[in-house]
Amino acid sequence: MRKAINNLRPSGAAEKELLRHEQHRAPMHSESWRVLRIQSEIVDGFENLRDLGPAVTIYGSARTKPGHADYKKAEKLGKLLAKQGIAVITGGGPGIMEAANKGAFKNGAPSVGLNIELPFEQTPNPYQDISLENRYFFVRKLNFVKFAFAFIYFPGGFGTFDEFFEVATLVQTGKIERLPLILVGKDFWKPVVSWMEHQLLEAGLISPEDPKLLQVVDSAEEALKLVQKAAKQQRIGKVKR
């Protein structure tokens, strides 16, 4: 399996510099070069992932330890997906990302890691057939969404919820197709869905159909069945059924 790596090591301060307050903005010529670097990073992702084939993106905490039930479940799901010919995309780090990559690695479909340099927690795991590095979160998020036909969320923290609500908003607003959002772990996700139904919906802040975008399951097998159903509905080839 090919392995694509961006050899330009990202600066941990790159995104902070881009987003800092206007009065501290860098000179215009510096900003222009940054735009070109962003463009280069986008092209790098598109070029290396365009022939990936059917893929799902799996999100979850970087802090989940090997041996934890969620880690084992994510590893099992990665393996099940790969054996069905479905590539697995993660953020490339430890925890749930490592587990899903580990399950998929050398099991029939590419195991992809979209790595990013952070001050802590983000160390690339060794179970990646295709390994890309991003300077910018928003470029990384673009690739998470562009190349997947389903999105699977394990329990996680701020990052997982950020990625969850962002994709949910894209689906809700029609910016992307009505792709499945699969939440693995009923004990963790049911209170979140209940909060949406009893706080957001009752207050008129979301529409009655919005909570129906989410599908909560408890096992790797249940998640796989929903992915297979989505592949059939979207007429995605190369997926074993």
Domain CATH for 122: 3.40.50.450
Q: Is 8 domain-assigned?
A: no
Distance, in Å, from the CA atom of 241 to the CA atom of 238, rounded to the nearest integer, reads 9
**Above 60 in pLDDT, residue 5?**
no
Q: Is 167 domain-assigned?
A: yes
How many folded domains does the chain comprise? 1
Band of the pLDDT at 132, cuts 50, 70, 90? very high
What is the reported pTM? Answer: 0.86
Least confident of 16-25, 125-134, 159-168: 16-25
Query: What domain range includes position 151?
Result: 14-233
Number of H helices, E strands in the chain: 8, 7
Q: What is the mean pLDDT of the chain?
A: 89
Q: Is 3 domain-assigned?
A: no
Q: Is 74 domain-assigned?
A: yes
Q: Which residue has the higher pLDDT, 122 or 213?
A: 213
Dihedral sign for Cα atoms in the order 33, 34, 38, 41: positive
- Which stretch of DSSP H or E encloses residue 227? helix 220-233
Residue of 173, 185, 241 lying closest to 213 (CA atoms): 173
